[in-house]
Amino acid sequence: MQNTVPHPLLPQLSRLLTMEMGLYYPEKCWGDLERRVAAAAPALGMPNTEACIHQLLSASLTRRQIEILARHLTVGETYFFREKGCFDVLEARILPELMRACAREHRQLRIWSAGCCTGEEPYSIAILLDRLMQNTGEPNVTILATDINPIFLEKAAAGVYNKWSFRGTAAWIKERYFKPRKDGQFEILPNIRKQVTFSYLNLAEGYPDFINDTEAMDLIFCRNVLMYFSPDGVLKIGQSFHRSLVNGGWLILSPVEISTRLFPKFKLITFPEAALYHKNESPPPEGTVVKYPVLPELPDPPEDVNRIPTRAFAPPLYLLDKEMPAVPECVPAEPLIKGIWAQAARIHNIADGPKDHEEFETLCNKARSYANAGQLTEAVGWCEKAIAVNKLNPAVHYLLATICQELGQSTMAKQSLTRTIYLDPEFVLAHFTLGSLCMFDDQHCEAERHFNNTLALLALSAYDKILPESNGLTAGRLKHIITSVRSGISPGPRKNKHND
């Protein structure tokens, strides 16, 4: 969008947000910042965007202002057991060792979910610990979950979730740990809820501190949070996390946030399923990487979900592989997850059985037929029926997005594309289409991010590879299209901007 407030105000506000909330808005994102502050202005009691910015700049931000801004400047989107490979490593490697250490030292196991959003992450940790501690009595563990957004914390404390929070999650988890409600939602069981303490915390403020209970942690989760912060802010937070952890503790980030430059005090440990940071006061020489052996395939939980035995685990094997290359400075984008992170990105997108699979394919074919015939409203209906049969198939969400795009419903198209990417982070055309829609809506910062993700994925494909769901478009051709779009030269006739 075109900036409408006087030029000095946006850079001043950007600096204020970085200083007091840690949020980072470089110049190319000022249009997004202005739009979000405009949305927050009524809640802040201001008549317009410019007056709102003047008020925010007049003094240090109050707790109430920070909470309102957090609701508009941060996005909450997560689900249970997100990045499954990470939880597999925790269950088989990390947590059993930490539990033994805490037992030897006669102390609690302490875990912190920093930026917990609506609670799916800390409850996933509590469920995992419940599995590991079967028949051992009351768990001797503290799980602290913090966030800057009070709306997120309120929902998290309630512990009530809809079906979308369980995408990609094994059915037995919902059956064992949640109680279905009459409104179609699911409420987490009280014994799991009471294990988690939710609390407000601004990561830009000071910690560790006994007042906010952030000291002496064994494990810190902070996933998909640091992307909002400046590099200097991330470096500062990483240093604080290092102080918050006991020696031998672990820091868990999203794969997109890993950077050896921004977390120099930690040692990056690579597993076949994930990569985690380890606090070790006597680390090996700089630039080396610890490599763990591949975990064996473990059986699925038994059908009797009320009697799940503790999963067998193997102790960590700190094997220094001097031939392994140094970890790259930064993993550029989540869709690049390959190799050690591949399992975290995989979702089983299948219907319940052959009959359902046939029904799903029939419904998708009908949706395509109606769309090809120009009967777009009918096509949307068939897509929705297909999604009702199999909600976890990314292709049908992408098909719905393209139809909504043709109908001029860009908001609905973006929502479907976002679902596509969450279900399949490597769906190239979903990233590209989302970037195109953001560009048409003048959301240039977000468009740039989606185009970067697209190019990162295309770099892994042969030039002449035909992209899935593209009707013959090759990886090389899409690279040229993105280059043309970025340079302002359209590769073809440009459509009129969509309006919802």
Predicted local distance difference test score (pLDDT) of residue 138: 60
Long-range contacts of 95-102 (CB under 8 A, 24+ apart): 95/128, 95/129, 95/132, 95/219, 96/132, 96/313, 96/315, 97/315, 97/316, 98/218, 98/219, 98/250, 99/132, 99/133, 101/218, 101/248, 102/140, 102/218
pLDDT tens figures, 293-310 = 443 333 344 444 333 332
Mean of pLDDT values over 42-56? 90
Task: Give CA 26 to chain center in angstroms.
Answer: 22
The pLDDT confidence band at residue 121, using thresholds 50, 70 and 90, is very high
Q: Closest Cα to residue 178, out of 167, 188, 192? A: 188
- Using a pLDDT cut of 70, give the percent of the chain over it: 78
The pLDDT confidence band at residue 325, using thresholds 50, 70 and 90, is very low
CB–CB of 203/115 below 8 Å?
yes
The pLDDT confidence band at residue 355, using thresholds 50, 70 and 90, is low
Mean of pLDDT values over 223-236? 86
The pLDDT confidence band at residue 185, using thresholds 50, 70 and 90, is very high
The pLDDT confidence band at residue 490, using thresholds 50, 70 and 90, is very low
User: What's the CA gap between 73 and 71, in Å, rounded?
Assistant: 6
Average pLDDT, the chain: 78
> Which position has the higher pLDDT, 493 or 145?
145
The pLDDT confidence band at residue 425, using thresholds 50, 70 and 90, is confident
CB–CB of 119/155 below 8 Å?
yes
Predicted local distance difference test score (pLDDT) of residue 230: 83
> Which position has the higher pLDDT, 159 or 304?
159
User: What's the CA gap between 257 and 221, in Å, rounded?
Assistant: 12
The pLDDT confidence band at residue 484, using thresholds 50, 70 and 90, is low
Tracing tokens 């037992």 back to the chain, one arrives at 103
Least confident of 81-85, 293-297, 350-354, 395-399: 293-297
Predicted local distance difference test score (pLDDT) of residue 194: 94
Q: Is 33 exposed, middle or buried (CB count within 10 Å of its CB: 0-12, 13-18, 19+)?
A: buried
User: What's the CA gap between 98 and 90, in Å, rounded?
Assistant: 10
pLDDT tens figures, 8-21 = 888 899 888 888 88
Task: Give Cβ neighbours of residue 248 (< 8 Å, ≥ 6 apart).
Answer: 101, 218, 278, 279, 280
The pLDDT confidence band at residue 139, using thresholds 50, 70 and 90, is low
Q: Which CATH class is domain 354-487?
A: mainly alpha
Predicted local distance difference test score (pLDDT) of residue 341: 30
CB–CB of 292/272 below 8 Å?
yes
pTM more than 0.75: no
The three-class DSSP label of residue 464 is coil
Q: Rounded to 5 degrees, what angle do the CA atoms 107, 110, 113 make?
A: 175
Is the pLDDT at 201 greater than 70, yes or no? yes
Is the pLDDT at 223 greater than 80, yes or no? yes
The pLDDT confidence band at residue 81, using thresholds 50, 70 and 90, is very high
CB–CB of 331/255 below 8 Å?
yes
Mean of pLDDT values over 217-224? 94
Q: Closest Cα to residue 429, out of 460, 393, 457? A: 457
> DSSP of 326-388, one letter per residue?
PPPSB---GGG--GGGHHHH------SSHHHHHHHHHHHHHHHHHHHTT-HHHHHHHHHHHHH
User: What's the CA gap between 174 and 163, in Å, rounded?
Assistant: 10
pLDDT tens figures, 250-293 = 999 988 788 878 899 999 998 888 899 999 876 445 444 444 44
- Kindly report, as residue ranges, where domains of CATH 3.40.50.150 are found in the chain: 84-342
Q: Closest Cα to residue 413, out of 398, 424, 435? A: 398
pLDDT tens figures, 368-384 = 888 877 788 888 999 98
Q: Is 54 exposed, middle or buried (CB count within 10 Å of its CB: 0-12, 13-18, 19+)?
A: middle
The pLDDT confidence band at residue 3, using thresholds 50, 70 and 90, is low
Phi, psi of 153 (to 5 degrees): -65, -35
- Kindly report, as residue ranges, where domains of CATH 1.25.40.10 are found in the chain: 354-487
- Using a pLDDT cut of 90, give the percent of the chain over it: 27
Predicted local distance difference test score (pLDDT) of residue 466: 82
- Give the largest Cα separation in the chain, rounded: 70
Pick the CATH number of 84-342 from 2.60.120.10, 3.80.10.10, 3.40.50.150, 3.20.10.10: 3.40.50.150
The three-class DSSP label of residue 213 is coil
The pLDDT confidence band at residue 182, using thresholds 50, 70 and 90, is very high
Task: Give Cβ neighbours of residue 337 (< 8 Å, ≥ 6 apart).
Answer: 255, 331, 344, 345, 425, 426
- Pairing mode of beta strands 217-221, 245-252: parallel
Mean of pLDDT values over 423-449? 85
Least confident of 144-153, 269-278, 426-435, 455-464: 455-464
> Which position has the higher pLDDT, 74 or 202?
202
Task: Give Cβ neighbours of residue 154 (< 8 Å, ≥ 6 apart).
Answer: none
pLDDT tens figures, 234-243 = 999 999 999 9
Mean of pLDDT values over 167-187? 92
Predicted local distance difference test score (pLDDT) of residue 252: 96
Task: Give CA 337 to chain center in angstroms.
Answer: 13
Predicted local distance difference test score (pLDDT) of residue 354: 52
